[in-house]
Amino acid sequence: MRLAAALAALALALAPAAAAKTFPTRVQVTAKEFWYALSSRTVKAGPAVIEFVNFGEDPHDMRVQRVGGSKVYGTPVLQPGDYYDLSLTLRPGRYELWCSIANHRQLGMEATLLVRPA
């Protein structure tokens, strides 16, 4: 019994480092009339969760696009007090974030997120 436990402990100790669980980078984007605030303006490349929170009085959404890229990611329209976790993989570069509702972007609902190499 002790030998089996010792062998199991040894196997765990010798397990490859690749088996270690990695967690996505998290950043929160807060929306209010008419601005965005980011919990961090710079994150590392790789799996990420952008938590979009509407603390405003009006419905808002968020669009995310890497500068020079063609793919646009987005959240649904959120009512005041709602939040949404947008999961994606970020490549190094600069990302533009904005609200696509009516003229919200022109009123200042935009921000930039810098993604540095991992």
Beta-strand runs (E) in 1-118: 25-32, 35-38, 42-44, 46-54, 63-66, 72-74, 83-90, 93-98, 110-116
Q: What are the sequence ranges of the domains in the chain?
A: 23-116
Q: What is the pLDDT of residue 21?
A: 74
Does pLDDT of 73 surpass 70? yes
Q: Give the pLDDT mean for 1-19.
A: 55
Mean pLDDT in residue range 80-101: 98
Q: What is the pLDDT of residue 35?
A: 97
| 3 state SS of 104 | coil
In this structure, which topology does domain 23-116 adopt according to CATH? Immunoglobulin-like (2.60.40)
**pLDDT digits over 13-68, tens only?**
555 555 567 889 999 999 999 999 999 999 999 999 999 999 999 999 999 999 99
User: Is there a contact between 67 and 114 (Cβ–Cβ < 8 Å)?
Assistant: no
